[in-house]
DNA sequence: GATAAATCAGACATTTTTTATCCTATTTAT
DNA sequence: ATAAATAGGATAAAAAATGTCTGATTTATC
């Protein structure tokens, strides 16, 4: 029940590219060094991000990656699911037929809600909001903090 | 990013025990057969549930498992975390020192909120509510459904 | 055009996690 | 005593995650 390292690397890569700005070309080596990602592994991850249409990969001398989607349209969910596939949390979400109980199972419904909630939270996190310096509390800080003391 | 099969089996086992009622002894074989769980594997999982204080294991002829906690105090979160450990979603939740960015990282904060939200959802799901027959919409059906159409 | 610097993409290797099963010991009702 | 049941450590098999290697390809520059 944890994020894969590959997805975390993808997020870091996109943080760097978002800071550079849409369309700005950045070398793979630079990103790997600055964000503590094994360079070859980053190559593999970048392939997935490119296939998902999030970045463009440039070959040759002075090659590298460039952001295709503007940071304010790019979400954590997009980046993570580009790498690990759609989030389902429980197998019976993806294959309801794998468990005969699914049509009447209330646990199934809980997972459904949990999944929607999680994906919604990740969808709301745009990269433009993630790369801004953290000066003060965000507007919805209260609703977030309220979760800490239930 | 998916629940382990062991945790799903644990949930099913506890569903069965909750239906039987607190303190009622049920044979391991019975549970395994009724809930489609490999019996030996169920034995391993039961050890974890017992260590967490959720069930009691009785040896000998006519042995089996019995629920220690009343179903209305037993939550999905308790059962799942008894098996897979506390949910953290991202490694930097458990070990903030694993990433030097954690003190200022806004992604970190998103994961913190997502984690709290998920655990809260699972904490609200008591087994007494999970085993009731599903006749009509629950009181909070609207808030749940609203997530489906964001 | 040749060269060199960069990435691509498939195959391969290693490690970790998950999912069990085996087998002997122990417990307990009869 | 016997037999039915679970305990618990060891082990095995499978799957997933995490990288790395290598030859091919692309492209700026000389
Ligand atoms: S028992 Fe319910 S939650 Fe578990 S796999 Fe079946 S449908 Fe899904
Ligand atoms: S970059 Fe942020 S989210 Fe990723 S590991 Fe570091 S602190 Fe956690």
CATH (domain of A27): 1.10.10.10
Give pLDDT, residue A103.
87
The verdict on residue A70 lying in a domain is yes
Cα dihedral B21, B27, B29, B30, rounded to 10, equals -40
SS3 B98: helix
The verdict on residue B93 lying in a domain is no
**Among the listed ranges A50-54, A135-139, B109-113, B126-130, which one has the minimum average pLDDT value?**
A135-139
| Domain enclosing residue A55, as ranges | 5-85+127-148
Give the closest-approach CA distance of B25 to chain A in angstroms.
Answer: 23
Of B8, B116, B147, the CB nearest to A116: B147
Domain count, chain B: 1
| Encoded tokens for B11 | 């949930």
Alpha helices in A52-105, H assignment, sequence order: 76-84, 91-94
Determine the atom of ligand 2 nearest the C-alpha atom of B92: 8
Give pLDDT, residue A149.
42
Residue B138 has pLDDT above 60, yes or no: no
* Contacting residues 10-29/B vs strand C (CB within 7 A): none
Question: pTM (2 decimals)?
Answer: 0.88
The verdict on residue B108 lying in a domain is no
Residue of B nearest to A115 (CA): B118
Q: What is the pLDDT along chain A (150 residues), one digit of tens a residue?
A: 999 999 999 999 999 999 999 999 999 999 999 999 999 999 999 999 999 999 999 999 999 999 999 999 999 999 999 999 999 999 999 998 889 888 889 999 999 999 999 999 999 999 999 998 655 544 444 444 444 444
Contacts of B93-100 spanning 24+ positions with Cβ under 8 A = B99/A36
Question: Do the Cβ atoms of B126 and B72 come closer than 8 Å?
Answer: yes
Residue B14 has pLDDT above 60, yes or no: yes
Q: What is the 8-class DSSP label of residue B2?
A: B
The verdict on residue A91 lying in a domain is no
Give pLDDT, residue A84.
96
With cut-offs at 50, 70 and 90, classify the pLDDT of residue B134: low
Q: What is the 8-class DSSP label of residue B103?
A: T
The verdict on residue B113 lying in a domain is no
The verdict on residue B122 lying in a domain is no
The verdict on residue B111 lying in a domain is no
Residues of A118-133 as b/e, b for ≥16 C-beta within 10 angstroms?
bbebbeebbbeebbee
- Gap between the Cα atoms of B4 and A147, Å rounded: 25
The verdict on residue B41 lying in a domain is yes
């Amino acid at each position: 029940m944890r994020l894969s390292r590959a997805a975390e690397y993808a997020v870091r890569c996109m943080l760097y590219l978002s800071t550079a700005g849409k369309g700005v070309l950045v070398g793979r080596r630079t990103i790997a060094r600055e964000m503590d990602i094994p360079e070859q592994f980053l190559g593999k991850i970048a392939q997935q991000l490119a296939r998902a249409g999030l970045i463009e990969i440039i070959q040759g001398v002075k090659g590298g990656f460039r952001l295709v989607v503007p940071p304010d349209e790019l979400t954590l969910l997009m980046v993570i699911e580009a790498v690990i596939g759609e989030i389902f949390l429980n197998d019976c979400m993806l294959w309801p037929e794998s468990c005969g109980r699914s049509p009447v199972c209330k646990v199934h419904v809980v997972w459904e809600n949990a999944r929607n909630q999680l994906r919604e939270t990740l969808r709301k996190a745009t990269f433009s909001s993630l790369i801004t310096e953290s000066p003060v509390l965000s507007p919805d800080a209260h609703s977030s903090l309220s979760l800490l003391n239930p």
